[in-house]
Structure 1
Amino acid sequence: MTFLPRLAALSAALLLAGCAATPPLAQAPAAASATAATAPSPKAEAGFAANPIVYFVVTDRFYNGNPANDRSYGRQPDGEREIGTFHGGDLAGLTAKLNEGYFKNLGVNALWITAPYEQLRGWVQGGKAEFKHYSYHGYYALDYTVLDQNMGTPDELRRFIDTAHAQGIRVLFDVVMNHPGYLDIETAQQLKIPVLWPGAYEKYNLKNYHSWIDYNGEQEKWAEWWGGDWVRAGLHGYPEGGSDDLTMQLAYLPDFRTDSKQPVSLPPFLKKKADTRAVDLPNTTVRGYLVKWLTDWVLDYGVDGFRVDTAKHVELDAWADLKQAGTQALADWKARNPDKKIDDAPFWMVGEVFPHGVERDAYFDNGFDSLLNFDLQDRQLLDPQALDSMYAEYAGKLSQGRAGGKPFDVLSYISSHDTRLFHREKLFDAASALMLAPGGVQIFYGDETARPDGPASSGDPQQSTRSSMNWNSIDQALLAHWQKLTQFRARHVALARGEHRKLSDAPYTFARTTQDDRVVVVLKAQGEISVNVAGVFRDGEVLRDAYSGTSATVSAGVVKLQATGPVLLEKA
């Protein structure tokens, strides 16, 4: 079958794109830390795997630390809505915000960044041919072995990771083993892949884009790209994509043949690519190359873990292979860099398996420490009764896994680049609901600052979730709210791992406890209140409200204090 009948569907299927035109990224003063000087120290048992607090940032949309790399490979703004173009954020920008203390003050212990390795160099049609769709998001890989120049240099990557580690913050790469990117016209021109019609490079535009690519061209010409041994693509000399999750061409992307047992050599375009670090590996399958390429970033730079994209579209044993190789690579890096490591914690993996909720399955036996929780965003987070029901359900399921000797975890969020942003006017309550949830939690960049939506495309509404960070319009009160909640969570593994118990309906009050850690939380409290903490804290114990910074002594099972928001009680 030729590729041509699919072109209309292809344009509508570009789901991983876009964002809005926003003002140039500008620097804002770092917000002051919300933690009072008398805050208790974190519990020793609250290690990362037990209490992950992950900040997900689309690097290109965050902060521009090095404007000199903004037009790498000839990439240009479109002069219109800038939905799918590169905005300028980079690794140097992340380092700048680390140096300002932004992430430390926020209390996160891991940064999940979009894949920084080289992406397709040009653009493809976005939505219904409405915008130029570049791979600023990192999901259209070209060369897994070198940094994308828009993201920065190897020195800038090393500086970013070292700076994060020095602050106790782990770095997670977003990675894809299901597919590389499409073949775009700019990449074909620059790498001399002979599948363009004469004049294509000078004449192509949004409306006639596909007509300048010879999809029915000779097999020998298309073999100059990845080749049929590497991917399913439905082109001459390439196998068709299948109809199941493991062999389908997701959004018509070329599908890596990670199931193949056949050894392969490097694809022709990589053999000729001047700056690649890829080399032929004897007796190595497609999967073997991908695992090697991805874990080399761990071995060379000390990347602490991966967020795995489209995990259900790749075989389970491939993820087990990736986890094993990543674990060995990180252990090797730590042995060589004892002064740069945070601790001896092993390599960590979280996967995207849409629409996974809070349940244990085979993914946790094949490399994954956690999976994204698609359930929480759709719950009634603003209703105390529904919220308590969700908390009890999550805590119970996670506890049963540990008690049964098969522990598992989930990473919950309220906003996502692939779904939607949570209602901007309700972020105070949503932040409380998320940061007090059992399991791991993930903050999507800008949820803490009320970053607004960008303009949408009728063909790809998700792109509106990826606007540039609102450094010039931060909601400082909201940011301070997130800082208090997140720093409180970082000190208390009980919130992630503890037994959940409701103490009161009005105002809604609950306890979360482990053998070594205890907290009591009152949501939406205002003014002078009395909180029943009997059975959680003893009479005579001095408790601190981490939100207001005030302290009170337990007497007759009760503490009395003046609430200024949610009450977050911990032992002083």
Structure 2
Amino acid sequence: MRNQVAVAILFLTVLLLPMVPVTADNPEIDYDDGQTVFTWSGAASTVELIGEWNWSETSSLSEQNGIWSTTISIDEGLYCYKLIVDGEYIFDPANPYRGYCDNIENSIVRVKDSVRPNFASEIINQQLIISFLPGTSGAGPDGIPSGLEAAIWDEVAMTWTLDLAGLGDGKHTLDLAITDTNGNVAYDHLVPFWTGPQSDFSWEESLIYMIMTDRYINGNMSNDPLSTGAAAGADWMGGDLEGVTSKIQSGYFAELGVNVLWLTPLNTNAQGTGIAGDGQHDVAAYHGYWPVEPRQVDPRLGTADQLKTMVDAAHQSGIRVMMDYVVNHVHEDHTYYQDNPEWFNQGCLCGSANCDWTEHRLDCQFTTYMPDVNWKVRNASEQFIEDALWWLEEFDFDGARIDAVKHVEDLAITNLATRINERFETVGTDYYLKGETAMGWSGHSLADNQFQYDTINQYIGEDSLDGQADFVLYHAVVDNVFTQGIEDYQHLDYWTNRSQDQYVEGSTMVPYVGSHDVPRIASRADVGTGDANNQWQEDGLPGQPGDETAYQAVLQAYGWLLTTPGAPLLYYGDEYGEYGGADPDNRHMYRNMTTWSQFEQSLFDNISQIGQLRAESIALKQG
């Protein structure tokens, strides 16, 4: 997450101006007292403003020193609007927030109640400075916000100053709330920050460990799910949050040099089974990508308190935690689909006749039982964003992986990023957003792959994602170099360097050699078996590699990966060479080290040594 300035200026303008009574011609909007300033910079003959508060009338902006501005009175709420520059309707370039009115995309302004006070915050020289911003009544604070009891109050400046040197090392999150002396409730203000060595953390120094929680460690057998009757390998297996916590507390991730955990979605998922993509096998929702509840931890994984305990244990170990958030779809049993079917597209089935995955990427359904979210519906888009904010705040996550990015409207990503930025980056603590935009590798020339890079880049920027999984690099090198040996290290070097110069400047990409969507690298490197792409028991699934060759290939791949710039991903189990075919066989239960073979133990020892070297070396982390 990056740019905070433009939107902050817009919202402060909305809040700090005095109110003037006004009436409105549009009876559908309940106006109250309040004023909002809109500005535009540039050369023009005329600049006008038109908005949802009154589409039949424009407001002219006046110019002074190249800055055009107008002040209008509108009530608290969300409003579509456009600027009209010399007759051309344009988005507000200073405001990344977008939305649809009458199926037309517009800029969106979020107007707050100017009577209510606000806070502002910054950290300077280990001093947290909280400013109280009175509402239009000018009344001061009535008391001290929780968490600032030890702070020094300056009545003239209306600031509290807290010395951070007195706090222990780790993550701290203040949720500031107060009323003014007139009884007006301030807008609450979240202040997440780290103290100690972790305060200098940069996401480009990450080593991310991906966990599919149900397939990791069973730390509490009392919450084990019952069998759903799914096909072998496609049912729940009993991994849970307490299992993850135990692994954190054991020091396992520190041994690997891991400083970020990414857990697959944790909301309550569907009961029973659904039909797999082959139309034959039944699969369960153990993976987390079939949500049926927006704000509930799946009891088969644990409780809300157990999730908080897990995140807290990670933070105490200097580890950040990323949630996984599904923005494209829900399961048909989801409460939103049951209560608000108008929030969803009535599209075709992705990949079926006349329903190309690319042409219909925004409205097709992945399966018949996964309704596709229509982000053009404002109530839907705002609700999904509010839910994401709730998960991040309630469980103190540090970032998020966003699923199926290219299958939602662009505004879904920019709006989500903007709101996370505003809510959580109040003192500069960087919340990392990683996207999944599945692409491929189209041949040996850069020109052949420009479309792949451009598509991934489309969703990265100052008010968008911080980075994405590096699909191009994965498809260019993993099989070609490491598992099949078709290409040499010059090929590896070339495409590694393209990942440094083809993506948006300042992005933090996530290179990887294994994930929950592809066959295990150990099985792909087990040449001669021919079963790495099999996924069902009757097909003949890969077994544990019987000689050292496959493990040497995995070590070469991870030796390269962990010395590559970016935030590399270590897929759970790859550290010891877990085997497996295509989904779901690539999602075996994590195996305890007491079951590892000599080759697996040796691979783990070597990968953990490289991980430790990466953790200790700026050169290895940043290239």
TM-score bin, normalised by smaller chain: 0.5 to 0.7
Q: Is the 8 A contact 1:46 1:493 kept in 2?
A: no
Gaps of 5+ in 1: 1-41, 192-222, 262-284, 336-343, 499-572
Which amino acid counterpart does residue 180 of structure 1 have in structure 2?
V
Q: Say whether residues 1:352 and 2:436 are aligned partners.
A: yes
**Of 338, 344, 351, which aligns to 1:231?**
344
What is the number of equivalent residue pairs in this alignment? Answer: 370
Cα distance in structure 2, aligned partners of 1:105 and 1:372: 24
Contact 2:460-2:467 at 8 Å conserved across structures: yes
Residues in 1 aligned to 2:496 and 2:201: alpha-carbon distance in whole angstroms: 20
Pick one of 362, 368, 390 that aligns with 1:296: 390
Select 2:509's aligned residue among 410, 415, 426: 410
Structure 2 counterpart of 1:110 = 260
Residue 445 (structure 1) aligns with: 572
Aligned to 1:9: none
**Correspondent of 1:141 among 273, 291, 311:** 291
Instruction: Name the residue aligned to 2:603.
Output: 478
Task: Say which SS state the counterpart of residue 433 (structure 2) adopts.
Answer: strand
Pick closer, same or farther for the CA change 1:256–1:100 going to 2, 3 Å.
Answer: same
Taking the aligned partners of 1:43 and 1:381, their CA distance within structure 2 comes to 38
Deviations 1:177-205 (A, max 9, x none): 1000134xxx8xxx9xxxxxxxxxxxxxx
- The residue correspondences of 1:37-116 to structure 2 (distance < 5 A) are 47-71=201-225, 75-76=226-227, 78=229, 82-116=232-266
Q: Distance in 1 between matches of 2:617 and 2:204?
A: 10
Q: Where do 5+ consecutive residues of structure 2 fail to align?
A: 1-195, 349-353, 441-451, 524-549
Assess if the C-alpha contact under 8 Å between 2:520 and 2:578 holds in 1.
Answer: no
Query: With structure 1 as the length reference, what TM-score do the two structures score?
Result: 0.59
Q: What secondary structure, in the 3-state scheme, does the structure 2 residue paired with 1:225 have? A: helix
1:307 aligns with 2:408: no
**Residue 490 (structure 1) aligns with:** 615
SS in 2 for 1:64: coil
Alignment partners' CA distance in 1, 2:471 and 2:439: 6
Q: Conserved in 1, the CA contact under 8 Å of 2:522 and 2:578?
A: no
How far has the Cα of 1:371 moved from its partner? 0.6
Secondary structure (helix, strand or coil) at the match of 1:363 reads: coil
1:173 corresponding residue in structure 2: 323
Does the CA contact (< 8 Å) of 1:232 and 1:241 recur in 2?
no
Question: Equivalent residue of 2:614, what SS?
Answer: helix
Partner AA of 1:257 in structure 2? N
Residue 420 of structure 2 aligns with which residue? 326
For 1:423 and 1:50, how far apart are their aligned partners in 2? 27
1:306 is paired with a residue of what secondary structure?
strand
RMSD: 3.1
What residue in structure 2 maps to residue 254 of structure 1?
A: 371
Which has the higher Rg, Structure 1 or Structure 2? Answer: 2
RCO comparison, higher one (Cα < 8 Å, 6+) = 1
Q: Secondary structure at the match of 2:474?
A: helix
Separation in structure 2 between the aligned mates of residue 43 and residue 64 of structure 1, nearest angstrom: 32
CA contact (8 A) 2:453 2:502 kept: no
Counterpart secondary structure, 1:50: helix
Shift of 1:224: 7.8
Q: CA deviation at 1:419?
A: 2.0
Structure-2 separation of matches of 1:224 and 1:310 = 19
- Structure 1 residues 301 and 92: alpha-carbon distance in aligned structure 2, compared to 1, 3 A threshold: same
The alignment-based identity, stated in percent, is 25
Alignment partner, residue 102 of structure 2: none
Residue 512 of structure 2 contacts residue 569 of structure 2 at CA under 8 Å; is this kept in 1? Answer: yes
Deviation of the 1:452 alpha carbon: 2.1
1:332-371 equivalences in 2 (<5 Å): 345-355=429-439, 361-365=457-461, 366-371=463-468
Bigger Cα displacement from structure 2, 377-386 vs 132-141: 377-386
Paired position in structure 2 for 1:16: none
CA distance in 2, matches of 1:392, 1:77: 47
Task: Give the counterpart letter for 2:327 in structure 1.
Answer: M
- What does 1:153-168 align with in structure 2 at a 5 Å threshold? 153-168=303-318
Q: TM-score, normalised by structure 2?
A: 0.55
Residue pair 2:270, 2:292 contacting (<8 A) in 1 also? yes
Give the corresponding residue for 2:193.
none
**Cα offset for 1:377?**
3.1
CA positional deviation for 1:46:
7.9
Using the TM superposition, give the Cα deviation of residue 245 of structure 1 relative to its aligned residue in structure 2, in angstroms. Answer: 1.2
CA distance in 1, matches of 2:277, 2:499: 39
Give, as a single letter, the amino acid of the residue that structure 2 aligns with 1:448. E
